[in-house]
Amino acid sequence: MCNVLKKWCFLLSLPIALFADKAVVPVAPQLEWEAPWFTGPLLASSPTVVPLGHFAFEGYVTYLNNPARYDNDWKVVDVETFQQVVFQPFFWIGIAPWADLQLVPQWSWNYREGPAHWDLNDFTAKLEFQLYRDQIPNKNWLPSLKLGIQETFPTGKYRNLNPKKLFTDQGGMGAWTTTFQFSMGKIFHIHKEQWLQARLNFNYALSAPVHVTGLNAYGGGVGTNGTVRPGGDFYFDYAFEYSLTRNWALACDFVGDFRGSDHFSGKPGFNEDGSTVIVERQASIQWSMAPAIEYNWNESLGIIAGSWFTLAGKNSNKFYTCTIALNYYK
């Protein structure tokens, strides 16, 4: 009866079974098995901090292709294809046994039917606080818990864009954005070298009003001059990793994104044909997933490659990406 209850507890806890970082998971020396090596999935944030005295780096290179949009009826509408190569180095610095600081500069190469442009993108910084850390072997069914507070600095160009460059000179959204993130994670030993790790992130982003002029990230045109109040953005990410061997693992993210509508006040401006432009984005929904495969040389160094692509959406972009990232922990 006891074994049956344990099995049912395991199955019921899978939706909240979340990941604990490979590099900071303590392993009892008397155990016959060894802790797994994981880089983490492509998108979901870890539920454990990098503690004081440690440092982590993960460098992403992503190719993005945006050939269409989902309209208000969830139908796919072709648009002029937008392509982008994004460079994102993530840095984590331990500032306390229970807290770390994450810094993410980024830049991109944008291309659309002729025009191409290098752009500095928006910069993010995040403070992360450990609420509870799970261990191997599991002491109970409580997952690792972490709280993150992120600020986006509008360092990328977002207004007075050149119409001839077809938005390839846009680097950011122009908004100071505060994102609150709650992360959970746990790890399970399945059999021998096979482990299951999973993560669950809940995020809510609030943006300050943005002053826009001319052609800008929210629309606009000739004579546009006003203020955009971006809608709130709630999104979640459920992700897992499964080790095939000590070195090889499979991973996948499942993401839901729900964005509120923007509101504009001021002079909307005009298109080239004299019609009034729209300087607002409608409320949107987007569903996507990101399968990946990873190889880990040891507990401190690994590489992951995969694709992030949309499954369905409403008033949002249809896209696919190819991504590769190198992870290092010290």
Domain ranges of the chain: 18-207+233-267+283-329
Mapped onto helix, strand or coil, the DSSP state of residue 192 is: coil
Q: Which residue has the tokens 């797994």?
A: 36
**Alpha-carbon distance 282 to 227, whole Å?**
16
Contact partners, residue 123, CB within 8 Å, separation at least 6: 103, 104, 105, 106, 152, 153, 155
How confident is the model over 245-273, as pLDDT tens digits?
A: 999 999 999 999 999 999 999 998 888 77
pLDDT mean across residues, the chain: 89
**Predicted pLDDT of residue 216:** 93
| CA neighbours closer than 13 Å in the CB half-sphere of residue 301 | 2
Contact partners, residue 275, CB within 8 Å, separation at least 6: none
Whether residue 237 contacts residue 255, with contact meaning beta carbons closer than 8 Å, is answered with: yes
DSSP H/E element including 263: strand 263-267
Helix (H), strand (E), coil (C) string for 19-53: CCCHHHCCECCCCCCCCCCCCCCCCCCCCCCCCCC
**Predicted pLDDT of residue 36:** 86
- Integer Rg of the chain from CA: 22
How confident is the model over 312-322, as pLDDT tens digits?
A: 999 999 999 99
Task: Provide the residue count of the chain.
Answer: 330
Q: Which residue has the tokens 């802790």?
A: 35
**Predicted pLDDT of residue 193:** 87
**Predicted pLDDT of residue 8:** 37
Return the bridge partners of 240, or none.
198, 252
**Predicted pLDDT of residue 12:** 37
Global pTM reads: 0.85
**Predicted pLDDT of residue 20:** 38
Closest CA to 197 of 8, 329, 4, 25: 25
Q: Which architecture, in CATH terms, is 18-207+233-267+283-329?
A: Beta Barrel (2.40)
* Mean pLDDT in consecutive groups of 10 residues from the start of the chain, 330 residues: 42 41 42 78 95 96 97 95 96 97 97 91 98 81 94 96 93 97 93 91 97 93 93 96 94 98 92 82 96 95 97 97 96
